[in-house]
Chain A
C-alpha cells in the first residue's frame, strides 16, 4: 500500500538494458535480428548493441522487475516501437513468421515496461494503437500459416487485451485528447467487430461497424459482405477472416431456402454476393461442404482483392499511423 501513488521511473536509455544484453550474449540467447553482422557463424555470436531489444519475461518470485536501470522510460519505449514497426517489419530477407515472433515478443515487453511505470495516458495511447494495428495486420497476413508457426488464438488474445486497455484509456480521457478521436474510431470498430460496445464514440465508422456486427448476428450475409467490401484496408483484412464463417452460414441457409428440384442458383451471382475471388474458389467451398453443410468450418484464406490493396500500401505507415 505504501507505494500506491509512487511509481518507478526507468533510467535505461537503450532499447535493451546492458545487463540483459550481456546475459543473452553470454548464454547464446541472441535473436537473428540482434546479432552483429559477420559474427552469425561464430561459435559465440556478438550482440549488435544498436539492434538489441529487451525481450519479454514473466514476473516471477525472486526476480527484480522494478530495477530502474532495467526499465525503459516512455520516450525510449516509443523509439523502440518505431524501430520494430519501421525497420524490422520491412525486412525482406527473413521469413515473416520469424519477424512476427520477434516483434510480438518485444512489443509485449514494451507493454510490460509501460505498465510497471504507470506511464501517462498520452504515451499509453500512442504506443497501444500501433500495437493493436500490428496484431490486426498479422492476423490477416499469417492466416494461411500452419498452427506451428502462427497461433491465431494467442494473437487475438493479445489484440483484445490491448484493445480493452485502450478503451479504458479513451473512457478516462476523451475530453482531454480530442485529437485521439480520429484514431479511436478505428480502434473501436475493431471491438465492435466482435461484440458491440455501445459507449463507443458515435462516428460514421463506428456506426458502420455496429451495423456490420448486428447484421452478422442476424445472419444477413448479403449486407455483411456489402459492408465488409467498403471498409478501410486494415479493417477489411480483419473482416476477411470472418468470411469462411459467413459463407458457411450463407450456404447452409441457402441450401435450405433455395432447395427445389428444378431450380438452381447461378454461381456468378453467388460469387459476387459472397465476395469470392473467382468461381473456382466458390466451387471448391461448395464441394467441401457437399450438399449438407459440415459443422467444422474452413480456415481463413487470403483474398486477392484485399492483397491488392495491401500491396499498394506501406505496411509501416499503415500500422504506425492507421488508414
Chain B
C-alpha cells in the first residue's frame, strides 16, 4: 500500500512552489495529512532524491519534513520534534526574505501547529530523571516566537500582502502552549500586540473565536469576570455550530462566569452540550443548598481541576450563601435577622461554623453589596434594609 509515488509528490511540491500556491504546500507538508502514514515517505536521508526534483529553498523544507516523518514513524518524538523545529526556523528565514508577499502564510500555520502537536507528544514520552516538565513546549514557544517576530516586523508591505495578518494564528498557537505549561503571564504582551493591531477586525473569524476563548479564560483567572463574560460570549456565539466540541469547551468557562454574575443557564443548553455536571451545581447554588454544593465539589473535583475552574466554581459558594440567607429572611419575615438563625441554617447544611464565622460571611456579602444592611455585634443581629435587601445579582456592578 502506498499513497502516490514520492517522485509524484515532489513534482507537486515543485509546481506549487513555483505557482506560489501556499495552501497546497501547506496540505502536503503537514504531518497530519494522509501521505504521512506511508512508509515510502518516511526517509532518514531524503537529501539525494529531493535535490533531483526541488530547488532551493523549498528543498530544505521538504527534506526536513520527510526526516520528521521518519522519526514519527519510529515513534521517536523528541528527534521528530527537533526536525520539525528546524523546519519552522528554516521557514521563518525564507518568510523573512520574501518581501511584499504573504502567499506562504498557510504553510506557516500548518507547520507551526504541527510543531506544537509533536512537542506535546515528545513531552508525554519524556521520562528522564530531573527533567523539567514543559521544557520542550517552552522551546517550541520560542520557535513560534521567531515566526511571530518576522510577521510583526513586516510593516512595509501594503495591506494586501502584509505578513502581519499571520500574527493572530501564531498568537493562538502560543496561547495553547502557555496555557498548557501554565505560563499565563506571557500572554499579556501578545494580547497587547493584537489589540493594537490595525488588522484587528480583518483576521479570520475562526482565529478570532480561538483568540477570544483564550483571552476570556485569562480574564477569568484574573478575576475580571465582566470582560471574561464578553470574550467568552463572543466566542460561544460565533463558534461554528458544527464544532460542538469547541462549543462545549467554551461553555465550561462561560457557565461559571455567567453564574457568578447572576445568570442561570438553562438545562436545555447544558444537556445539548454535554455539560450536565453543571445542572446539579446550578440547583445547589439557586437553592442555597450548601450541603449539596460541598458534595458536588467533591464529586466533580477532578473534572473541575482538569478544566482549571475549581477556584471559580468554589466562588459560587458565596452566591449560595446569599440565596440561603435570603430564604432565612423570607421565612422569618423580619428585618432583624438573628445571627443564630443564619448559623443554624448553615449548620443544618453541614457547615462547621460558629457565630463569628457566620458574621464574617455576612459581612463579606454586605461589603460586596449582595445584602443591603448592617450587622449589630451586641445584639447579634443582621439588620437588613426595608427596601430590596437582597438586590438581584445582575443589578450589581
Chain A 92-128: CB-based contact to B (< 8 A → 1; otherwise 0):
0000000000000000000000000010110010000
Report the separation of the CA atoms of residues A265 and B130 in the bound assembly, to the nearest whole angstrom: 55
Contacts of B326 in A (CB 8 A): none
Cross-chain pair count, CB within 8 angstroms? 76
Report the separation of the CA atoms of residues A121 and B375 in the bound assembly, to the nearest whole angstrom: 55
Contacts of B133 in A (CB 8 A): 168, 171
Chain A 186-229: CB-based contact to B (< 8 A → 1; otherwise 0):
00000000001010000000000000001001111111001000
B137 CB, min distance to chain A CBs, angstroms: 15
Assess whether B363 is in contact with A253, with CB atoms less than 8 Å apart.
yes
Shortest Cβ distance from A214 into B: residue: B314
Assess whether A220 is in contact with B364, with CB atoms less than 8 Å apart.
yes
Contacts of B374 in A (CB 8 A): 257-260, 263
Q: Which of B317, B356, B367 contacts A218 (CB 8 A)?
A: B317
Contacts of B305 in A (CB 8 A): 198
**Interface SS of chain B: helix, strand, loop or mixed?**
helix
Assess whether A221 is in contact with B311, with CB atoms less than 8 Å apart.
no
Assess whether A258 is in contact with B367, with CB atoms less than 8 Å apart.
no
Chain B 207-249: CB-based contact to A (< 8 A → 1; otherwise 0):
0000000000000000000000000000000000000000000
- Does A256 count as interface, using CB distance less than 8 angstroms? yes
Assess whether A220 is in contact with B129, with CB atoms less than 8 Å apart.
no
Q: Please provide the chain B residues from 256 to 273 with a CB less than 8 Å away from any CB of chain A in the complex.
A: none
In this complex, how many residues of chain B approach chain A with their Cβ under 8 Å: the count is 29
**Interface SS of chain A: helix, strand, loop or mixed?**
helix
Contacts of B356 in A (CB 8 A): 222, 269, 273
Q: Please provide the chain B residues from 8 to 23 with a CB less than 8 Å away from any CB of chain A in the complex.
A: none
Counting chain A residues whose Cβ lies within 8 A of the other chain, the interface size class is 20 to 34
- Does A254 count as interface, using CB distance less than 8 angstroms? yes
Chain B 315-334: CB-based contact to A (< 8 A → 1; otherwise 0):
10110000000000000000
Assess whether A222 is in contact with B360, with CB atoms less than 8 Å apart.
yes
A256 CB, min distance to chain B CBs, angstroms: 5
Which of B130, B356, B361 has most A Cβ within 10 Å? B130
Residues of chain B touching chain A, judged by Cβ–Cβ distance below 8 Å, are: 129-130, 132-133, 301, 305, 310-311, 314-315, 317-318, 353, 356-357, 359-364, 366-367, 374-378, 383
Which 5 pairs across A and B sit closest by C-beta, in order of nearness? A257-B363, A222-B360, A257-B366, A253-B367, A222-B357
13 contacts across the A-B interface (CB closer than 8 A): A121-B129, A168-B132, A196-B310, A196-B311, A198-B305, A214-B311, A220-B360, A226-B357, A253-B366, A257-B364, A258-B376, A263-B376, A264-B377
Beyond known contacts A257-B374, A264-B377, A266-B377: 19 more, CB 8 A cutoff: A120-B129, A172-B129, A198-B310, A214-B311, A214-B314, A217-B315, A220-B360, A220-B361, A221-B360, A222-B360, A223-B353, A250-B360, A252-B367, A253-B367, A256-B363, A256-B366, A257-B375, A258-B377, A260-B374
